[in-house]
Chains A and B, each alone.
Chain A
Amino acid sequence: MIPKPELQWLAIGPELITAVGAMLVLLIGLGKGAKVRGTVLVLSLLTLAIALGFTIARFHVTTYGAFNGQVDSDELANVGRIIALSSALIAVVFGARGRSDDGRHGEFHALVLSAVCGMGLFVAAGSFVSLFVGLELFSIALYVLCALDAERAASLESGLKYLILGGLSSAILLYGTALVYGATGTFDIAGVAEASHRGVLVWTGAAMVLGGLAFKVSAAPMHWWTPDVYEGAGTPVTAFMSTATKSVAFLVLARVLTTSFAPESDAWVPVVAGIAVTSIVVGNVGALIQTHLKRLLGYSSIAQAGYLLVGLVGWEGSGIPALVYALIVYSAMTLGAFAYVLVLERDLGRDATLADLAGRGWIPEGRSVLVALPAFGMALCALSLAGIPPTAGFFSKFALFGAAVDHGYAWLAFVAVLGSVVSLAYYLRILVELYMHQPDEARAEAFAASLPAPSVAIDESGDPRDEVMTGEPSHPVPATPVRTPGRAPVIALVGVLLAAATLVLAFVPEPVLDLGCDAKMALLDVGSSCTDHQAAEETGGSSTDAAAASPEDVAPVE
């Protein structure tokens, strides 16, 4: 008799909600007409909201070892879900007005919902099996999302590039998992740490797993895909990718490194430090010469990944809370920046470059101050990304670098700080364009000349082999402009709110810091204080600190 497996459905509640939502949306989206579009949008937003509410309400409800050890739904996982769901909500709002044909209304939303489902599984994974399944689920959804603007060659190329490089890294991760399994005999994330044989196989496997995850967070040397894919994909998709994927991947990286490979921490901490340095250098230097806004943000996200890795170095002390705070702040400011890029794109009808920002910081004659507010939001996000006080971006760097300094990696903090100085050169360019330059048609045209073509017309004479592949005669696709120029007030508003969040999170950091503390305590499974090294637990001060920091912390395990 096969024993009945325990199925704790509530542990993957958010994933179930989004999965059901995805299927519903896809089915309903097969209809025609504007009403269907509206329904699909509302349904998708509703699904995400319900899942988000569910996660928040059950934030402290932890379930370890659900589904026979496949799911570990703890505070860390819930933090990841919250970030992914919120990013998805905002991405859906961004993508709401995208073009779609009858019968295809549900595609974008179903894919986003599937991606979020995969991210939830990924971050709540208790074993490498479910980790891989979740990873592939959201990765494949993202490949399609990138390629979704099928009339633009750039979009398809970005999807293909992402798929190829993503497939490569997934294969590396999978092989690493296999090696670790070979050495330890288990797929369980916590179980791997307990195995006694820690020889070459485990080290190689760990390195490959690290490599595969490093791809997802755009850390050098696995960063090659980022600028191109960010540039080619539609902006809502880029926004979603850059925040949600990176955040969940970082959380999983933290989980895997500090749980499965904790015994090797003396080995992987320097490696992570090295990857951080490389990312910071590559990202900052690469961004200096960019003019295309999405590419610039792509390179900047590589550098940001470097800063986040610096925090991971100090994982024993305050590294995990710092990482959580920094991820939430990073998501807010990046989404805010992309919101403005999207507003610009709608306004111009094409991709935006630095020159298109010129002069937009000032209020045009006779208009209200609200017109300049989105640009101010962009300026705030740029300052936050650069790490200038009093934005939350500064405090997240403070927390991340502080964790490294506490762990004895002051030199790494210095390198990171020098990288920040270099990054000023391009972040300040945004401010300079907004406030110190005048709008200049000729200059904007010159910058725009380097953009990829908006769409490509094909020639009438189709290849007869196409008929074989698709089963129908190839027909020419009319060269239509990808986006019609227009305003985007809702997106602008969302951008301003996100920019405001970067200030709010700086002045009222308590809630997010508490989240981070909870995540750390769940992850490291210790009752120690939030920021002290575990060694310092003996001092009387730490326990009172822990009690004071998160009073509602006690997590009932189901």
Chain B
Amino acid sequence: MTVSPEWFVALSGVLFAIGAAGVLLRRNALVVLLSIEIMLNAANLALVGFSRVHGAHDGQVFAIMVMAIAASEVVVGLGIVVALSHLRRELDTDDMTELHG
């Protein structure tokens, strides 16, 4: 039994929502970065699913490019987190009150 592509898209929507919730609600910086990754991968899943729907390769190629981009983004994020941890102990975003917002 083949799973029709629409289910992939639905799954991607759910994952996207989960990721978004994580970014907005979680306080640990690492978990937030993780949530962003989830969102980007959700989009990837949607791309691949739609690509299948249209029977073309575009979406899948784009998804591979997105993976590379997401990887570099998270590397940068982790680098900043490491630098921050040199200056302070906690990674709690609610405690990052140097900036007033």
A and B touch in the complex (CB under 8 A): yes
Chain A residues at the B interface, C-beta cutoff of 8 Å: 129, 132-133, 136, 140, 143-144, 147, 150, 153-154, 156-161, 163-164, 167-168, 170-172, 174-175, 177-179, 181-182, 185-187, 224-225, 227-229, 231-232, 295, 452-453, 456, 458, 463, 466, 469-470, 474, 477
Answer whether A129 and B62 are a contact pair too, CB < 8 Å, given A168-B36, A181-B50, A458-B88: yes
CB contact list, B5-35 vs A, under 8 A: 9, 12, 16, 19-20, 23-24, 29, 32-33
| Chain B nearest CB, measured from A39 CB (Å) | 26
Answer whether A181 and B29 are a contact pair too, CB < 8 Å, given A133-B69, A175-B39: no
| Chain A nearest CB, measured from B19 CB (Å) | 7
B46 and A182 contacting across the interface, CB-CB below 8 Å? yes
| Chain A nearest CB, measured from B62 CB (Å) | 5
B62 and A171 contacting across the interface, CB-CB below 8 Å? no
B99 and A154 contacting across the interface, CB-CB below 8 Å? yes
B23 and A164 contacting across the interface, CB-CB below 8 Å? yes
Which of A153, A175, A458, A466 has the most chain B CB atoms closer than 10 A to its own CB?
A175
Answer whether A181 and B59 are a contact pair too, CB < 8 Å, given A157-B84, A168-B23: yes
Q: Which residues of A contact B33 (CB under 8 A)?
A: 164, 167
A466 and B39 contacting across the interface, CB-CB below 8 Å? no
B65 and A133 contacting across the interface, CB-CB below 8 Å? yes
B86 and A174 contacting across the interface, CB-CB below 8 Å? no
Alpha-carbon distance between A133 and B89 when the two chains are bound, in angstroms:
35
Alpha-carbon distance between A458 and B20 when the two chains are bound, in angstroms:
33
Q: Which residues of B contact A168 (CB under 8 A)?
A: 20, 23-24, 36, 39
| Chain B nearest CB, measured from A336 CB (Å) | 25
Alpha-carbon distance between A159 and B62 when the two chains are bound, in angstroms:
27
Nearest A residue to B84, CB-CB? A156
Q: Which residues of A contact B36 (CB under 8 A)?
A: 164, 167-168, 171
Q: Which residues of A contact B56 (CB under 8 A)?
A: 185
Q: A132-B66, A160-B77 are in contact. List 7 more A-B contacts (CB 8 A).
A: A160-B80, A163-B73, A167-B40, A167-B77, A171-B20, A171-B40, A187-B62
A156 and B58 contacting across the interface, CB-CB below 8 Å? no
Q: Which residues of A contact B43 (CB under 8 A)?
A: 171, 174-175, 177-178
Nearest B residue to A180, CB-CB? B50
| Chain B nearest CB, measured from A174 CB (Å) | 4
B73 and A167 contacting across the interface, CB-CB below 8 Å? yes
Q: Which residues of A contact B80 (CB under 8 A)?
A: 143, 147, 156, 159-160, 163
Alpha-carbon distance between A182 and B101 when the two chains are bound, in angstroms:
37
| Chain B nearest CB, measured from A172 CB (Å) | 8
| Chain A nearest CB, measured from B23 CB (Å) | 5
| Chain B nearest CB, measured from A302 CB (Å) | 12
Alpha-carbon distance between A168 and B58 when the two chains are bound, in angstroms:
23
| Chain A nearest CB, measured from B98 CB (Å) | 5
Q: Which residues of B contact A129 (CB under 8 A)?
A: 58, 61-62, 65
| Chain A nearest CB, measured from B61 CB (Å) | 8
Nearest B residue to A174, CB-CB? B43
B47 and A452 contacting across the interface, CB-CB below 8 Å? no
A228 and B99 contacting across the interface, CB-CB below 8 Å? yes
A140 and B73 contacting across the interface, CB-CB below 8 Å? yes
Partner of A452, one of B82, B86, B89, B98: B98
How many positions in chain B have a CB within 8 Å of any CB in the partner chain?
Answer: 51
A153 and B98 contacting across the interface, CB-CB below 8 Å? yes
B58 and A187 contacting across the interface, CB-CB below 8 Å? yes
B40 and A174 contacting across the interface, CB-CB below 8 Å? yes
B69 and A136 contacting across the interface, CB-CB below 8 Å? yes
B99 and A157 contacting across the interface, CB-CB below 8 Å? yes
B87 and A458 contacting across the interface, CB-CB below 8 Å? yes
B86 and A147 contacting across the interface, CB-CB below 8 Å? no
Task: List 29 interface pairs A-B (beta carbons < 8 Å), by A numbering.
Answer: A136-B73, A143-B77, A144-B76, A150-B83, A153-B88, A157-B96, A159-B80, A160-B29, A160-B80, A163-B77, A164-B29, A167-B36, A167-B77, A168-B20, A168-B24, A170-B40, A171-B19, A174-B40, A175-B42, A175-B46, A178-B46, A181-B50, A181-B54, A182-B53, A225-B101, A228-B100, A232-B99, A452-B99, A456-B87
Nearest A residue to B13, CB-CB? A175
Q: Which residues of B contact A171 (CB under 8 A)?
A: 16, 19-20, 36, 39-40, 42-43
Answer whether A182 and B9 are a contact pair too, CB < 8 Å, given A174-B40, A466-B85: yes
B87 and A164 contacting across the interface, CB-CB below 8 Å? no
Q: Which residues of B contact A158 (CB under 8 A)?
A: 99
B101 and A224 contacting across the interface, CB-CB below 8 Å? yes
Q: Which residues of B contact A466 (CB under 8 A)?
A: 85-86
Alpha-carbon distance between A144 and B61 when the two chains are bound, in angstroms:
27
Q: Which residues of B contact A167 (CB under 8 A)?
A: 23, 33, 36, 39-40, 73, 77
Answer whether A456 and B88 are a contact pair too, CB < 8 Å, given A163-B73, A171-B19: yes
Q: Which residues of A contact B39 (CB under 8 A)?
A: 167-168, 171-172, 175
Q: Which residues of B contact A161 (CB under 8 A)?
A: 96, 99, 101
Answer whether A157 and B59 are a contact pair too, CB < 8 Å, given A168-B23, A456-B87: no
Q: Which residues of A contact B77 (CB under 8 A)?
A: 143, 160, 163-164, 167
Partner of B86, one of A143, A179, A295, A474: A474
| Chain B nearest CB, measured from A310 CB (Å) | 26
Alpha-carbon distance between A227 and B100 when the two chains are bound, in angstroms:
9
Q: Which residues of B contact A147 (CB under 8 A)?
A: 80, 83
9 A-B pairs closest in CB distance: A182-B50, A171-B39, A228-B99, A178-B46, A228-B101, A167-B36, A174-B43, A175-B43, A452-B98
Q: Which residues of B contact A227 (CB under 8 A)?
A: 100-101
Which of B12, B19, B83, B86 has the most chain A CB atoms closer than 10 A to its own CB?
B86
Alpha-carbon distance between A487 and B23 when the two chains are bound, in angstroms:
42
Alpha-carbon distance between A227 and B98 when the two chains are bound, in angstroms:
12
B59 and A178 contacting across the interface, CB-CB below 8 Å? yes
Partner of A153, one of B53, B76, B87: B87
Q: Which residues of A contact B99 (CB under 8 A)?
A: 154, 157-158, 161, 228-229, 231-232, 452
